[in-house]
Chain A
Amino acid sequence: MASELNLSRDHLEAPFSRRVEELSGENPYACYQCGKCSAGCPFADHMDALPNQVLRLVQLGDEAALRLSAPWVCASCLACAVRCPKGVDIAKTMEALRLLSLRRGITPAPVVPDRPYPQIALVGAYRKLTP
């Protein structure tokens, strides 16, 4: 997370935020940072930024969001989505961040099966974590 917030209109509607919005279909500016999503995320303990913080970076047009591990720890369980009072589906924002990375050739979570897995595990992992 940025240690200092530079509040300025210049950051709003940045191309990065627009792109994430386009891919996810979720308006990042609908979020008022209440943190309910993070409180309910069963994986928040393992993330380097909480779900609401990830969304904050997107609001600010900060591409640091692409260097976080959080989107790769998110399991798309939608616990955040069902409890957001503003109807923001952060799981979609997380997916957009994963896709933006993958499409730029950044694969922080390559899938290298270390044992036999059932189809359902492999299919899911490849779809979410590989380009």
Chain B
Amino acid sequence: MKKLAYFPGCAMKDQARPDEAGTLHALAALGYEVAEIPRWNCCGTVHSLAKDDLMRHVGPVRNLIRVQGMGEKRVLTLCAMCYGTLKRSAQFVREEERLARINAFLDTEEDFRGGIEVVHLLTLLRDEVGYEKLASRVKRTLNGLKVATYYGCVLLRPREFAVDDPDRPEVMERVVEALGGAPVPFPERMECCGAYLTVGRSDIVTDRVGRILRSARGSGADLVVTTCPLCQFNLAERRPPVAPTLPVLYLGQVLGWAFGADEPANLFPLGGAR
């Protein structure tokens, strides 16, 4: 068994529980001993794009300090947004002056020393497990199911933190393929769903979601998968009445199913997790 520090984020403990259940099942089958980091806090969802907003890095850095405290060198995330905030904050504090200021502010914590790598489930599956091993361990094939792979934005942008080629990504498609599915790389797969605008401007999000789902259905998909709980919420809850009724699942749900999770009720709770 290979030990792997894991930052779940709030969504995995609430709305995205089926994602976590499925992923952890598959990772155990792949030989990983996943260890949730102790006393973690919300990563803040959105990375600050301003130069002077140091406070926004406090949450992510605190989590990285917990990983350091476990004696681990890297940390796994499932949520695309958590991946973005942790990865970008880890990079942000590579500059010594910033790190010093954040460490001074976090006076009750041990100093962060840097050097923690943030990995997303998709890169782990590609770079460490490998598509071939993934395919060979599958217990239940997706049997040619047409799966639309929705990346959204955070997995691919900004370029420096993309999990794959931000112009022509294929990692999610290759994973679906390894599980026996037929990936559907539809035109809108890299376009944003509207993210947090869902709280105040659901009209805009509904417009975006309609386009995304029509694009997926138009490409012949049977279902859509994503790794971002915010995309999942928007695609499921903000669909316009005219949009096709296309199931939207977390990648972890599909993964868990393919690895023979024997509690499908945990993976596919009726009416969503909340």
Q: Which residues of A line the B interface, CB within 8 A?
A: 22-25, 42-43, 45-46, 73, 75-79, 81-82, 89, 91-92, 94-96, 99, 109-113, 116-125, 127-129
User: Which among B50-58, B95-103, B174-182, B246-254 touches the partner chain?
Assistant: B50-58
Q: Quick check: A119 and B200 within 8 Å, CB to CB?
A: no
Knowing A75-B192, A77-B157, A112-B200, say if A121 contacts B230 (CB, 8 Å).
yes
| A120 engages B11 (CB within 8 Å) | yes
**Distance from B109 Cβ to chain A, minimum over Cβ atoms (Å):** 21
Interface pair B158/A42, CB less than 8 Å apart: no
Q: What would be 6 A-B contacts, judged by CB atoms less than 8 Å apart?
A: A73-B204, A77-B192, A82-B158, A82-B159, A123-B44, A128-B46
Chain A residues closer than 8 Å to B192, beta-carbon distance: 42-43, 75, 77, 79
Task: Identify whether the interface residues of B are mostly helix, strand, loop, or mixed.
Answer: loop
**Interface assignment of B122: CB less than 8 Å from any CB of chain A:** no
Query: Which of A75, A110, A129 is most buried by chain B, counting CB atoms within 10 A of its CB?
Result: A75
Which residue of A25, A78, A121 contacts B157 across the interface (Cβ within 8 Å)? A78
- Structural contact, B48 and A75, CB atoms closer than 8 A: no
How far apart are the CA atoms of A110 and B167 in the complex, in Å? Answer: 34
* Min distance, Cβ A113 to any Cβ of chain B, angstroms: 6
How large, as a class, is the contact surface on chain B?
Answer: 35 or more
In the complex with contacts A25-B51, A82-B158, A113-B199 CB distance below 8 A: yes
Residue of B14, B46, B157 touching A119 (CB-CB under 8 A): B14
Please state if A24 and B50 are interface contacts (CB–CB under 8 Å): yes
Distance, CA A129 to CA B198, complexed state (A): 12
Let me know if A43 and B56 touch, CB within 8 A. no
In the complex, which of the residues A42, A94, A99, A120 contacts B81, with contact meaning CB atoms closer than 8 Å?
A: A120
Complex Cα distance A94/B46, Å?
A: 14
Question: Are B194 and A75 interface neighbours, CB within 8 A?
Answer: yes
Q: How far is the CA of A96 from the CA of B49 in the complex (A)?
A: 8
B33 to chain A, nearest CB (A): 27
B2 at the interface (CB under 8 A from A): no
